[in-house]
Structure 1
Amino acid sequence: MPRFFVDAPLTAPGEITLPPGAARHVQVLRLQPGDALTLFDGSGPEWRAEVTAMGRSEVRVSLVTAESPQRELARRVTLAVVMPANDRMDFLVEKATELGAAVLQPLVSERSVLRLAGERADKKRAHWQSVAIAAAEQSGRTVPMRVEPVQPLPAWLAALPAPAGGEWRGLLSPRATVPLAAAAPGASAVFLSGPEGGLSDAEEGAARERGFAAVTLGPRILRADTAPLAVLAWLALSA
């Protein structure tokens, strides 16, 4: 059954006009009145719906019943990632959504290859959010991963409050001696991963001051877009 995100609140049974984004998906698939589909607005529930009218500029559907499937991770995970170069960030966003991350925080560090700011950063963030929504549609998630605005690593660290509510903070470091498997994540986790060249000594020190525990994934050097996904998979399985 086709499944689409709707950028508008879905609150009660009845007929609605789909917003342009969802309407285009329905039109591309050439769904017809009477065809069934699933809709979700990112708040948690998903709706069984039926197309009632198709037009060139308007698509109407009837919301039938709401369900609340449990497809989110038991542990809330935030990935704070110094952005990898080229198109690898798109891959990272897609796979992090599929694996269940709640939040992705794109960062710029001293050794960043990809540096974004201003309007260019805003456009990239909007693009990555659309990638996350598409991945949520495909994977069955009812709450798409949220992509935060791009920030410099020092500013992001400085604004972090003290860990609370059983939150665990992990830092992937080539200098670490404690394996990730020895960590003890709580009800939520924030994981910081560096760029292709790694974080500087000063950046790692600043992260430790904000409560991040340095861990290692082993003797192999993983790419900047591979390491956070490996961590996310482990966090999901260890919940």
Structure 2
Amino acid sequence: MRIPRIFTEQALITGELLQLEEAASHHLSKVLRMQAGRELILFNGAGGEFAAVIQDVSKKSVTVAIAEHLADNRESPLQLELAIGISRGERFEWVLQKATELGVTKITPLITERTEVKVGGDRQEKLIDRWQQIIISACEQCQRNLLPELSTPLQISDWLATVNSELRFVLHHRDSKTLPAEQKPQSVTLLIGPEGGLSESEIAQAQAKHFNALTLGPRVLRTETAPVAAISLVQYLWGDF
């Protein structure tokens, strides 16, 4: 039987007892119906993971004993940022999940000319909390121990001024350039638009900031398909695929 992996925001110390957060405790006790004696893997994003054993299951909490630390983080050697226009509903959440599984280091949600999702105020805070939980769940599933960095939503013009990666690509289905396989970058940024893509003005702004136009073949990919294809190619060429 597969050993569950659980994220916690608490410090993890070998030999200590730890009472897990409410959501994690509910998942283990009510959903998985786990009892004392069952093994777990715990991680907190600080690096590595810890073996653990459930010591007690109560109505509201699960207490675990923390055992040895394992140092493996399963991270790609490539620093890879995905900057993508915010799309509606499950499309964007699917992108967050798959980008995490594929080894992206940083995810930056962008507000572009064609972004239809309203962010700001309390709604932005709720969205970020939900997006962060999706990333955590993806890390639990794919066995990453370091969470990708999730940026607050930024206007594309503000974000472009901060990019400092070695190679930069903006997806542009009306171009014909492909990835330069002969290069060996340490860091890559991928810029992808929302539904409807980036405007010509936004593509021009990106190219003025040393972004190379990139096409992924003759077919126009949806906003949730394009990042999966692009990330997979980048990881194959320069990462750990």
Aligned to 1:18: 20
Aligned to 1:83: 86
Q: Give the secondary-structure state (helix, strand or coil) at the position aligned to 1:129.
A: helix
Q: Which amino acid aligns with 2:93?
A: D
The number of equivalent residue pairs is 235
Contact 1:129 1:146 in 2 (8 A): no
**Quick one: structure 1 residues 85 and 198, their matched pair in 2 at CA, closer, same or farther if it must change by over 3 Å?**
same
Query: Which one of 87, 93, 98 corresponds to residue 95 of structure 1?
Result: 98
Q: Which moves more between the two structures, 116-125 or 43-52?
A: 116-125
Q: 1:142 aligns with which of 129, 141, 145?
A: 145
Q: CA deviation at 1:208?
A: 1.7
In the TM superposition, what are the counterparts of 1:1-239 in structure 2 within 5 Å? Answer: 1-28=3-30, 29-158=32-161, 160-161=162-163, 163=164, 167-180=166-179, 182=181, 184=183, 186-239=185-238
- What is the distance in 1 between the residues matched to 2:89 and 2:65? 42
Structure 1: how far apart are the matches of 2:181 and 2:34? 51
Q: Can you give the 5+ residue segments of structure 2 that lack an aligned partner in the other structure?
A: none
Distance in 2 between residues matched to 1:137 and 1:3, nearest whole Å: 5
Mapped partners of 1:151, 1:207: distance in 2: 15
Q: Structure 2-normalised TM-score?
A: 0.91
Bigger shift: residues 9-18 or 58-67: 9-18
* Aligned residue identity for 2:11: P
Q: Which amino acid aligns with 2:15?
A: P
The one-letter code matched in structure 1 to 2:237 is: S
Q: Alignment partner of 1:238: what SS? A: helix
Please say if residues 170 and 214 of structure 1, whose CA atoms lie closer than 8 Å, have aligned partners that are also in contact.
Answer: yes
Q: CA deviation at 1:181?
A: 5.1
User: Where do 4+ consecutive residues of structure 1 move more than 6 Å?
Assistant: none
Give distance in 1, aligned partners of 2:194 and 2:89: 12
**Distance in structure 1 (CA, Å) of the matches to 2:211 and 2:182:** 11
What is the Cα deviation at residue 70 of structure 1? 4.2
* Conserved 8 A contact 1:13-1:62: yes
Shift in CA distance, 86/53, structure 1 to aligned 2, threshold 3 Å: closer
C-alpha offsets along residues 53-75 of structure 1, whole Å, 9 cap, x if unaligned?
12123321111101012411121
After superposition, the C-alpha distances for 1:53-112 in whole angstroms (9 at most, x for unaligned) are: 121233211111010124111211110000122321111111111111111111111122
- Tell me by how many angstroms 1:9 deviates: 2.0
> Tell me, what secondary structure is at the counterpart of 1:64?
strand
| Alpha-carbon shift at residue 145 of structure 1 (Å) | 2.3
Structure 1 residue ranges without an equivalent (≥5): none
> How far, CA to CA, are the matches of 2:73 and 2:89 in structure 1?
34
Distance in 1 (alpha carbons) for counterparts of 2:73 and 2:23: 25
Cα deviation 1:111-150 (Å, max 9, x = unaligned): 2232322221221111011011111111111112232111
Which one is further off, 41-50 or 177-186?
177-186
Q: Determine if contact 1:53/1:60 at 8 Å carries over to the other structure.
A: yes
Residues 6, 21 of structure 1: 8 Å contact kept: no
8 Å CA contact 1:122–1:149 kept in 2: the answer is no
Identity of aligned residues (%): 33
